């Protein structure tokens, strides 16, 4: 009878793929075997022609929910005596094409068992199966087998082992499989040591008393408190030194958020997806009264639904421990602030001993367990972008390390990303693997985390880079590390200009190989001329980028300090049209304002910047919205929030100029804002006029060059009003807009662009 071998590549390990194949082969009366290996899975089949074809078709159409098939290769084999039945062989090491799935929320079948008093896993906080649970955060090596994970230290009891070995059971080779007799355990501790009693019940009681509890999740610890308790929220902010930055909340379901935020169809799907990201939702009018101090001065609420059994158990306890799952469809009153458990700016805490060290400086108690987290992974953050697509603000748990397909293969490149919001990227053939969010590299611990992540990703993917890519700025830690690795591994390194990488990241994920116009808009990046760029019009053709124009520059008083003190950028704008004398009067609470006005008037040499981010700061300060900020982009977020509530004018005036050198001058717009406009109206006008100015600028340049596509990237494109408005405005001018969908538009996606440029550079 006909015999063939199938090689399946993609996310096919740890997702119930082998038992699915076992059942499918049985239904079609096919004999043979399946085995995990370093390439994915290999299958040998023997049977009738129709059965073999039907198997391949159903393999693609009926695959398990967490599986992803990137490649299916069928190869005929010589016929041989037909073996008896179908078997699952032991895993085999080697190869370089396997991929591991991301962590996934608890599935419906496990939830039904979790809340069934008759089930042996009733209220067991580590219930999982092949359709759900941790993957990336607990695996050390591929192939994905229990011995390669942090579950290796938990031998399975006879009942669990029987499930694990049964190909017809949904826990067949579910590597984290366990129960209360053989698996991980919870423990609650406070400053006095272990707390007696039911850990979940006692944790809820403490949260209701206004305490802050560090809770261990899949990729790290959260700091949790009652989101409705203003005093608890204020205390959490004070302890974490997070004065005003919005906090995310966790709710039992979408219905529990109905009075707080508006949830459209896409937002609802994102909230309920297996990835369970934090989703930014437009607030309702009563949100801030219901959740005082959670997300002040912004128009959006970051919310997520539970994704671990432990999260569900806390909510179940608050609901009174009802039997069954029907309560999960009903509104629940408990809302928890869930923010990363880490001292300000440091990496997410993953180890129990580090969490205990938070006592009592950050947390009143720690709810931990004894299953180690191998890889830290922050929650992902998304919002609904334009034309019905999700937009990443941070890519982490639930999405990492899923591969991003590239238009063509190339040599393996390790790209080390940006200085802020760092991620790294490793390519393998025609796939790019972006790491989880690592953070800002101005902290030693984050620098160490970057080094560790680079090593772990290489180990996990069994891939050694042939080339290194990094930012053009020579003093960034990521650039220094790139040069060190280049020398240590004896491989070439390539410096990629910051804004070229922003546009390249879009082209990489969109699999676009044509020449495009690039509109790169962000806070700052070192330019080819050594300047502080951030409002750039580029022509990007693979490894090549040409600067075609930029925003007219503003002085940057105080250098990096100006990004934290927007009043300085307003002063620079006032100086630009000769209004130095207004600076002290406009900013009477800034002791340095008179001296700065004098320096500007005397023509002191100052760095200048084309940054759109700094133009946002100037606008916010001129409108009296923000003179100083406590976190990055706070002024811009306030400006966006006011504009969202106010609504943009339908026909804004033309308040920009484009000179013969293709410089876009926004001075007329800033002068209008300085004329005494109400803040909300001014914020709306700024956005409306900026959108038209950028679209005019891009369209004028595109016509001259005969280009039809504009790739828009950089941190400013995480502004929903700007992204939506540019998409519409460019469309009205006959241009199509490309923007980031699979990675953040800001620095969190930069490593992908660096890797893409390097692949093309070294392939020339």
- DSSP, res 382: E
Q: Which of 403, 401, 372, 397 is nearest to 104 (CA)?
A: 397
Angle between helices 634-646 and 720-732 (to 10 degrees): 60
The string of DSSP codes covering 457-491 is HHHHHT---SEEEEES-TTSHHHHHHHHHHHHHT-
Q: What is the CB neighbour count within 10 angstroms for residue 468?
A: 27
18 is catalytic: yes
Give the separation between CA 479 and CA 475, rounded to whole angstroms: 7
Collect all residues with Cβ–Cβ distance below 8 Å to 320 and sequence separation of at least 6.
none
Q: Are 358 and 349 in contact (CB under 8 A)?
A: yes
DSSP single-letter state for residue 86: E
**Strand 86-88 to 40-46 pairing:** unpaired
Among candidates 290, 309, 437, 323, which has minimal Cα distance to 376? 437
36 is catalytic: yes
Round to the nearest angstrom and report the end-to-end CA distance of the chain.
48
Cβ pair 415, 439 in contact under 8 A? no
Nearest one of 365, 40, 349, 333 to 201, comparing CA atoms:
365
Q: How far apart are CA 439 and CA 346, in angstroms?
A: 8
- CA angle in degrees (0–180, nearest 5) for 340-344-346: 75
- Given the residues 9, 36, 123, 586, the one annotated as active site: 36
Instruction: Tell me, rounded to whole angstroms, the distance of Cα 79 from its chain centroid.
Output: 49
Q: Report the alpha-carbon distance of residue 236 to residue 225 in Å, rounded.
A: 8
Number of other residues whose CB lies within 10 A of the CB of residue 329: 10
Buried-exposed string 124-142: b where 16+ CB fall within 10 A, e elsewhere: bbbbbbbbbbbbbbbbbbb
Token pair belonging to 307: 């994704």
Instruction: Give the number of C-alpha atoms closer than 13 A to the C-alpha of residue 84, restricted to the C-beta side.
Output: 0
Exactly one of 9, 18, 121, 614 is catalytic; which is it? Answer: 18
What SS3 state is found at 435?
Answer: coil
Residue 359 CB neighbour total at 10 angstroms: 16
Rounded distance between C-alpha atoms, residue 672 and residue 674, angstroms? 5
Question: How many CB atoms are closer than 10 A to CB 191?
Answer: 11
Distance between CA atoms of residues 90 and 37, nearest Å: 9
Instruction: List Cα–Cα distances, 62 to 43, 69, 85, 608, 690, in angstroms.
Output: 16, 11, 21, 58, 48
Contact 745, 391 (CB under 8 A): yes
Burial of residue 49, with CB atoms counted within 10 A of its CB: 0-12 exposed, 13-18 middle, 19 or more buried: exposed
* Nearest alpha carbon to residue 106 among 313, 300, 255, 416: 313
User: How many residues are listed for the chain in this entry?
Assistant: 764
Distance between CA atoms of residues 577 and 670, nearest Å: 10
The per-residue DSSP string of 175-196 comes to TT---TTTS--EEEEETTEEPP
Beta-strand ranges (E) seen in 504-642 are 516-526, 532-541, 544-551, 554-555, 608-609
CB 279 within 8 A of CB 253: no
Please identify every residue annotated as catalytic: 18, 36
């Amino acid at each position: 009878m006909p015999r063939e071998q199938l090689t399946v590549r993609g996310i096919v390990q740890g997702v119930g793929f082998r038992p699915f194949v076992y059942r499918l082969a049985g239904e079609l009366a096919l004999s043979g075997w399946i085995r995990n290996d370093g390439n994915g899975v290999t299958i040998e089949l023997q049977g009738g022609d129709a059965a073999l074809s039907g198997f391949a078709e159903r393999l693609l159409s009926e695959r398990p929910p967490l599986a992803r098939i990137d490649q299916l290769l069928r190869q005929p084999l010589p016929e041989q005596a037909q073996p008896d039945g179908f078997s699952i062989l032991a895993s085999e090491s080697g190869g370089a094409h396997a991929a591991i799935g991301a962590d996934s929320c608890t599935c419906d079948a496990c939830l039904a068992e979790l809340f069934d008093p008759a089930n042996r896993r009733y209220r067991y906080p580590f219930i999982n199966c092949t359709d759900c649970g941790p993957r990336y955060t607990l695996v050390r090596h591929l192939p994905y087998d229990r011995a390669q994970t942090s579950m290796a230290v938990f031998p399975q009891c006879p009942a669990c082992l029987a499930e694990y070995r049964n190909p017809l059971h949904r826990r067949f080779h579910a590597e984290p499989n366990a129960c209360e007799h053989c698996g991980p355990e919870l423990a609650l501790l406070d400053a006095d040591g272990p707390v007696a009693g039911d850990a979940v019940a006692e944790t809820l009681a403490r949260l209701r008393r206004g305490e802050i509890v560090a809770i261990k999740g899949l990729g790290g610890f959260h700091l949790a408190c009652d989101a409705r308790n203003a005093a608890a929220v204020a205390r959490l902010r004070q302890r974490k030194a997070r004065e005003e930055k919005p906090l995310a909340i966790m709710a039992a379901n979408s219905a529990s958020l109905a009075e707080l935020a508006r949830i459209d169809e896409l937002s609802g799907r994102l909230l309920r997806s297996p990835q369970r990201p934090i989703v930014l939702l437009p607030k309702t009018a009563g949100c801030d009264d219901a959740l005082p101090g959670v997300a002040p001065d912004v128009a959006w609420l970051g919310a997520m639904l539970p994704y671990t059994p432990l999260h569900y158990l806390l909510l179940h306890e608050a609901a009174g421990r009802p039997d069954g799952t029907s309560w999960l469809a009903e509104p629940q009153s408990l809302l928890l602030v869930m923010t990363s458990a880490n001292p300000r700016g440091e990496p997410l805490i993953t180890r129990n001993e580090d969490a205990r060290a938070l006592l009592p400086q950050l947390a009143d108690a720690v709810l931990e367990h004894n299953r180690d987290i191998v890889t830290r992974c922050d929650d992902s953050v998304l919002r609904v972008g334009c034309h019905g697509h999700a937009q990443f603000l941070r890519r982490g748990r639930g999405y990492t390390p899923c591969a991003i397909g590239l238009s063509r293969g190339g040599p393996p490149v390790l790209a080390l990303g940006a200085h802020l919001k760092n991620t790294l990227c490793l390519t393998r053939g025609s796939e790019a693997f972006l790491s989880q969010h690592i953070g800002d590299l101005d902290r030693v611990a984050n620098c160490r985390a970057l080094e560790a992540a680079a090593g772990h990703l290489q180990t996990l993917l069994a891939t050694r880079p042939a080339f290194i890519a990094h930012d053009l700025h020579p003093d960034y830690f990521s650039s220094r590390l790139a040069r060190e690795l280049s020398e240590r591994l004896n491989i070439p390194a390539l410096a990629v200009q910051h804004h070229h990488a922003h546009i390249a990241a879009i082209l990489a994920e969109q699999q676009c190989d044509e020449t495009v116009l690039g509109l790169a808009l962000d806070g700052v990046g070192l330019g080819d001329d050594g300047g502080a760029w951030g409002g750039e019009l580029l022509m990007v053709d693979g490894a090549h980028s040409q600067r075609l124009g930029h925003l007219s520059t503003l002085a940057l008083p105080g250098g990096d300090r100006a990004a934290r003190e927007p009043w300085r950028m307003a002063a620079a704008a006032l100086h630009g049209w000769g209004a130095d004398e207004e600076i002290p009067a406009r900013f009477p609470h800034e002791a340095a304002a008179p001296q700065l006005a004098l320096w500007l008037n005397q023509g002191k040499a100052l760095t200048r910047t084309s940054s759109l981010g700094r133009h946002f700061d100037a606008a916010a300060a001129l409108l009296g919205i923000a003179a100083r900020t406590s976190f990055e982009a706070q002024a811009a977020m306030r400006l966006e929030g006011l504009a969202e509530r106010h609504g943009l004018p339908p026909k804004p005036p033309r308040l920009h100029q484009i000179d013969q050198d293709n410089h876009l001058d926004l001075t007329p717009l800033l002068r209008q804002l300085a004329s005494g406009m109400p803040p909300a109206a001014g914020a709306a006008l700024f956005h409306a006029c900026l959108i038209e100015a950028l679209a005019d600028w891009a369209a004028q340049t595109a016509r001259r060059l005969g280009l039809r596509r504009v790739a828009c990237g950089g941190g400013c494109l995480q502004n929903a009003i700007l992204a939506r408005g540019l998409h519409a405005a460019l469309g009205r001018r006959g241009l199509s807009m490309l923007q980031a969908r699979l990675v953040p538009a800001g620095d969190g996606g930069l490593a992908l662009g660096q890797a893409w440029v390097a692949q093309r550079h070294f392939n020339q």
